Structure 1
Amino acid sequence: QFHIFVGDLSSEIETQQLREAFTPFGEISDCRVVRDPQTLKSKGYGFVSFVKKSEAESAIAAMNGQWLGSRSIRTNWATRKPPASKENIKPLTFDEVYIQSSPSNCTVYVGGVNSALTALSEDVLQKTFTPYGSIQEIRVFKDKGYAFVRFSTKEAATHAIVGVHNTEI
């Protein structure tokens, strides 16, 4: 996937409008407007991910400076922030995690896994996440260094995120 940062979004722009604006450039694998977890107001930026690099490059070139809603947007490659040092990480709260996804979302993303290590397995994930609730499915993408764990309830998934976030498994 090739991730584009879209900045200077006007507050009325929703994820669907962002997706529609970038759809002409190619297949979009992910798209979202970033929101404040407490107020749910747009933070004024978002991300659009394309399957093909050439399509992402075309979108960046064509959309930078274009008007979307009531503002001219900025586009560029999305870059990852360097990981915060362990001392500066504030623990997550159940409520802030719970409101960040739809009521039907019961899936936990497990990322930041070194794919060179073979420790990422269904068994390890089962042992790590079973204490948080009933697991429906575990999908491991060893070569990519991540996995998904689907719980039977959103509450269980939320407890798992709060409990396991920023830990080593």
Structure 2
Amino acid sequence: RSRSSSRSRRSRSRSYSASSRSRYSDDSRSAASASGSSSDESEQSALEPDNALTKDQRTVFVSQLVMRADDKDIRKYFRKKVGCKVNEVILLRDKRTGRHKGCAYVELGRIEDVPKAVQVSGIPPDFQRFPIMVKASEAEKNYIIPNTQATLTASMMGERGTNGPTVGPNGKILEAQKVYIGNLDPSVTQEHIYSVFSKFGRLDKVAIQMDPTTSTSRGFAFLSYDDAKVANLAIQTMAGQVLGGRSLKTGWANQSATIPGVEVVTSTEFPDDSAELIKNAQLALTQLAGTAFAGSTDEQKDGGEEKTPSPVPAGAPVDAKVIGNDDNPTTSLLVHNMFNKDEETEEGWEEDIKLDFEEECSKYGKLRLVKVMSKEPGGKIYATFESISEAQNCASSLAGRWFDKRQLRVEFVDGKDIPQ
């Protein structure tokens, strides 16, 4: 792609504020309503009652948006590239900073457009290099009553259905007992959990338990796996692993069958390809949080017998929200986990990463230097500002933020230590 055209496009998109666009839309609707001269407008007016009833069903939830993305980018993408009619885009913003949180509700004009919108989940849009996630939002639950749980299903993530239920010798349908995950950091979402735990095998559902009064995570979740062996592998492998700066607690949930003809089962065995599954989960965790497994990923079989993976605690977990060398701030920062060099195949990706980083961080002050360490592991970028206060503001904003399924870590460094 042409970087000059990309930059000019970004500049144009950033020159339109959400508030001015909203005022324009409201004025246009008011003028159209007053004139009543257009047959299309009359038709739209006649359909308004039905549209109001189906608004929640026509709304999708879009996440993993980069900070520079705005509602104009989202609206244009779903209209031009996906082929959906878009009524409204609502970016969810931080009340303190006013910056969006990387997610938005998109109200589509036609209910038949919802499957098309969900199909682009996991695909990079034309306005950013990283994939977005799209799922049916169930917006009525967010707008009307507080959620008691935040749920994500395999179908929302674009996974196909299973081959059907497993029936036991007694004729009952076998259902794997749910998996409990505890000590979750409030910043961990269903998508984060799914991205790691789905690597063990078919994961049908992730349900984070929410406080109904504050709508915040209560720190634990339940997972529904298709296979009890897969569930057991996830439990044994992920116990004590660090996600979002906290060591996870895992186990079988307290559950009994409440549906006639269904038997809830557990397992002490593992899938035949457990070693490969663990490696896949390790890679996903590393990409997500920038930390590897605390335990060994060696083969899970010895002498023909399956062994339970036994992760070894790696000491006190590192809180990504804590800024390194914060007691001795400088004008230079080192940001970890901005990218994965092994996944970057597009020519000139280093320059794209640099431009994205400069655009995001220049809002905190004047950048004197940005250096992308494209040959080294760890997704590292060095940045130097004009003043220490500018560097501190940038560090406070980036530390602990989730970026493309990775949690950023930031530390102050001496400018003399930046590689030339």
TM-score, normalised to structure 2, is: 0.20
Would you tell me which structure has more strand in proportion to its own residues? 1
TM-score, normalised to structure 1, is: 0.48
Ranked by relative contact order (alpha carbons within 8 Å, sequence separation 6 or more), the top structure is: 1
Q: Compare CA radii of gyration and give the structure with the larger one.
A: 2
